[in-house]
Amino acid sequence: MIGEGSFGAVYKGILPSNGQNVAVKVLKLEEQRAGRSFMAECAASRNIRHQNLVKIITSCSGIDIRGEDFKALVFEFMPNGSLDKWLHPALDEMGVNDSSTRLTAVQRLNVAIDVARAVDYLHYHCWIVFFLI
């Protein structure tokens, strides 16, 4: 597992067809809004094309080995980790940030600009309804 959010866990995987590394978000279907989130993300995947947004490769909906509903989204894998890790690096035992993940003020400003461009694209250039960003 490489991460966890309110709607599910994210795992690193490999596509057998081409060996591509992917991130697989498996939804927690016991969460009331998870099904709606899945449908919104599937709809979004058809229309979203932006350099600052992670690409959804495919989705999966079916029944697992226990006979329960299973829904997953397969995203391109981002090898440098999460944006959260870069904006809020972990502290070592001495309470110091890891210098290898410390961003300069200019780098942070560039991240903010990239995020603003992505949000602008989603709000004004994508004709879909989003439940979460």
The annotation status of 55 as a binding-site residue, yes or no, is no
CA-to-CA dists, residue 93 to 81, 97, 98, 116, angstroms: 21, 10, 10, 34
Q: Which residues are annotated as a binding site?
A: 25
Q: Mark the binding-site residues for ATP, compressed into ranges.
A: 25
